[in-house]
Amino acid sequence: MKLSEVMNKLADKIELKLQKYADQPVQISQSGTTELFFDSSAKQQDFSQKVMNTNSPVYKALENYYTKNNGASCSFTLDASAEPNSGAKWILNVTPPALKAPIAAALNSIYQSVAGATMVQKQQKADAAAKQGAGSGTNRIAEIELTA
């Protein structure tokens, strides 16, 4: 048997194997950061809109500080981070730091109304899933800044 015949038979076998696998759909089941923290992008958008609404308790807390302190700057940012094989966490930055507790409480209240769980409960589930390979990085969820 010539080398070219051997190569052709080998190529035919490889082609048959490739056809066998090409007919099977590839299933990807990795959840991204949005799914880990909110289950869906619609819930994330709903939460973000409720938080950033000028009637929200988050906005009101910042506005009250701003008013009582003669236009002193205040702000918050909330990110959700889920790194595959590493972990997941909420990242809350609040200026001034004295507003962190009331902002966190207001965020948690809104989150419960949207997601049906506390932010801590959802973060714990997201963390476990991220350690198993889920997650897609860091997403900015909401932010408000009041400045003079």
The pLDDT tens digits for 86-128 are: 999 999 999 999 999 999 999 999 999 999 999 999 999 999 9
The domains of the chain are located at 41-146
CA–CA distance, 114 with 111 (Å, rounded to integer) = 5
CA–CA distance, 70 with 83 (Å, rounded to integer) = 40
Residue 29 is predicted with a pLDDT of 46
Of 14-18, 24-28, 67-71, 96-100, where does mean pLDDT reach its minimum? 24-28
* Category of 2 on φ-ψ map: left (φ > 0), alpha (ψ -120 to 50) or beta: beta
CA–CA distance, 67 with 41 (Å, rounded to integer) = 34
Say how many C-beta atoms besides its own lie within 10 A of residue 39's C-beta: 16
Share of the chain above pLDDT 90, in %: 76
Q: What is the mean pLDDT of the chain?
A: 89
CA–CA distance, 8 with 27 (Å, rounded to integer) = 32
The answer for residues whose C-beta is within 8 angstroms of residue 123's C-beta and 6 or more apart is 37, 88, 89, 90
Amino acid at 15: E
pTM above 0.75, yes or no: yes
Burial class (CB in 10 A: 0-12, 13-18, 19+), 33: buried
